[in-house]
Amino acid sequence: MSTPETAVLHEREAVAALVPDWWELFGRSDRATPFQSPAWQLAWWDAFSPGLLRVAAVRSAGRLVGLAPFYREHGTDRLLPIGISASDYLDVLVDPAVPAAGDRIVAALADDAWTEWELTDLLPDAAALDLPVPAGCTEERSDAAPCPVIALPDAPDDLADRLPKRKRRSIGMDRNRARRRGDVRTIAARDGAEGLRLLAELIRMHQARWTARGEPGVFADERIETFHATALPQLLGAGLARLDAMTIDGTVAAVLYQLADERRRYAYLAGFDAAFAHESPGTLLLAEAMETAVRAGAREYHLLRGDEAYKFGWGAVVRHTRRRVFRRPER
């Protein structure tokens, strides 16, 4: 095999030119999550652009075998991953057949003028955990965030047995209340246009809930909406996202935004109409999403970053993401 060649890209156009090869590498990277897809990462960059692009691309025999999308933060000397804060899981992409691409990524980015390089929100099997420490640097390793996970059974009929008894009982009661309220249906976005319509409903409900608390809510920043409106149609088209809504008596009562891959489902964002709080449509939609995930062959359902009490009511177990920070000594 030929010696891998590395380039560090500084311009958005050069990174965009990688997209077809990026998708191919993403498909070969068995440790990747939808957060590492070009649909997610480029949409995030276009919405925020908080620094100077530093994207390491490694090729072997012309084929993209490694990709590390980072940026140097404005006003600091920190090297940070594209997608930070909005992405629950971050990582680099390394072709499993060319593990040396990880070494090349580090060598290339080590030449940049940073004093601190942060790799955060790494799953326990993340490729970035295998990267070597750059020469002359110190390393700090720590937990990043609690991310509760539910282990899924092989068959949908066995899912109820995985849930705590109290949760099974409450789901049954919520279903009965919803049916008494009116006709209950679940709608799945079939294309980008329908996805954007349901996303608008989710944002409306999400913001109404936060406004009622006297708080701005995440979508008060218009860039967040721009980011998701750009990413979602591409993610739906690639089979990496699901947007489901539950209607009760013809009214959208809840919307659930999930990311998806062959092994896992990720409950990214949800919203519900307070007028249907007694029926708990968000709970009912999440229960249906888990059943759908099992039918699709998913082995885990991820409730993502945060240790809110409701997650443990589903029987979730905390799995901490990891954080690595490389630092250069002061001169």
Among candidates 167, 66, 51, which has minimal Cα distance to 108? 66
Helix (H, G, I), strand (E, B) or coil at 107: helix
How far apart are the C-alpha atoms of 20 and 12, rounded to whole Å?
15
> What's the confidence (pLDDT) of residue 330?
75
How far apart are the C-alpha atoms of 66 and 42, rounded to whole Å?
17
Torsion (CA) 58, 62, 65, 70 in degrees, nearest 10: 30
Write down the residue that tokens 């849930």 correspond to: 163
How far apart are the C-alpha atoms of 316 and 304, rounded to whole Å?
10
> What's the confidence (pLDDT) of residue 25?
98
> What's the confidence (pLDDT) of residue 227?
98
Averaged pLDDT, 97-125: 97
Task: Answer yes or no: is pLDDT of 64 > 90.
Answer: yes
Confidence of residue 274 (pLDDT cuts 50, 70, 90): very high
Q: Per residue in 256-290, is it b (16+ CB within 10 Å) or e — as a string?
A: bbbbbbeebbbbbbbbbbeebeebbbbbbbbbbbb
DSSP state of 276: G
Write the pLDDT tens digit of every residue in 230-249. Answer: 999 999 999 999 999 999 99
DSSP state of 130: G
> What's the confidence (pLDDT) of residue 228?
98
How far apart are the C-alpha atoms of 328 and 331, rounded to whole Å?
9
Confidence of residue 263 (pLDDT cuts 50, 70, 90): very high
Write down the residue that tokens 């995930």 correspond to: 293
Averaged pLDDT, 314-319: 98
Averaged pLDDT, 62-84: 97
> What's the confidence (pLDDT) of residue 4?
86
> What's the confidence (pLDDT) of residue 1?
54
Task: Answer yes or no: is pLDDT of 318 > 90.
Answer: yes
> What's the confidence (pLDDT) of residue 216?
86
Confidence of residue 261 (pLDDT cuts 50, 70, 90): very high
Task: Answer yes or no: is pLDDT of 3 > 90.
Answer: no
pTM for this predicted structure: 0.96
> What's the confidence (pLDDT) of residue 331?
57
Averaged pLDDT, 55-80: 97
Averaged pLDDT, 58-70: 97
Write the pLDDT tens digit of every residue in 192-215. Answer: 999 999 999 999 999 998 888 898
The secondary structure of 142-162 as a DSSP string is EEEEEEEEEE--SSGGGHHHH
Asked if residue 109 lies in contact with residue 92, where contact means CB atoms within 8 angstroms, the answer is no
Asked if residue 241 lies in contact with residue 234, where contact means CB atoms within 8 angstroms, the answer is no
Write the pLDDT tens digit of every residue in 219-235. Answer: 989 999 999 999 999 99
Averaged pLDDT, 129-146: 98
* H or E element that contains 21: helix 19-28
Helix (H, G, I), strand (E, B) or coil at 213: coil
Who has greater pLDDT, 118 or 220?
118
Q: Which residues contact 252 (CB under 8 A, 6 or more apart)?
A: 198, 201, 205, 245, 246, 273
For the chain, which domains are there? 5-144+321-327 (3.40.630.30), 153-298 (3.40.630.30)
> What's the confidence (pLDDT) of residue 150?
97
First vs last C-alpha separation in the chain = 40
How far apart are the C-alpha atoms of 295 and 203, rounded to whole Å?
28
Give phi and psi for 267, each to the nearest 5.
-80, 95
Write the pLDDT tens digit of every residue in 141-186. Answer: 999 999 999 999 999 999 999 999 999 999 999 999 999 999 999 9
